[in-house]
Amino acid sequence: MSVVDGAWWPCSRDAAAELPALVAAVDQRLGRTTLRVGVHRDAWRHIPDRFPARGRQVRVGWFLSTDPRVITLTFAAGEPVVLLIIPPDTAAGPAEATLNLTAQDTAGLTTGAILALACPTPGAASQAPGDGSSRWENEGGSVIGQEPQTPA
């Protein structure tokens, strides 16, 4: 599980097409110079060894031991930046919720925690089987619609 600094919602899984625009945006926004990008090999297609960016070549490293849900940017100075990758086919609502959440203070939150907060899974009630069995307390009958009992 990775701790992330932000999120990125690429248009595709084509690294050669997506990485130059990401690096240009991050360099401009942070005022830093990205020297290297680290990606999970199986999460991307067409991973270049390097690509041009503002008068330099940015090296791309691919790994199998990293979290496939993140991308790491390494700079000339300072700590690396880890971005949560929002899958390109994600619907706009969940993607925007994830972007908004990571724009806030996510210090210490892992990728799994961010995704759970931004895109919560439906509660147990909505995942209940259609036969009504979820309405029954184990060995005690229905619990829906009953008032809590207080000891006498």
Domain ranges of the chain: 6-118
Confidence (pLDDT) at 99: 83
Query: What does the block give as tokens for 76?
Result: 């000339």
Residue 13: C-alpha distances to residues 49, 61, 89, 126 (Å): 16, 16, 10, 32
Name the pLDDT band for 139 (thresholds 50, 70, 90): very low
| C-alpha angle 91-94-24 in degrees, rounded to nearest 5 | 80
Distance CA 94, CA 86 (A): 9
Confidence (pLDDT) at 115: 60
Between 151 and 2, the more confident residue is: 2
Name the pLDDT band for 107 (thresholds 50, 70, 90): low
Confidence (pLDDT) at 149: 46
pLDDT at 15 over 80: yes
Confidence (pLDDT) at 90: 86
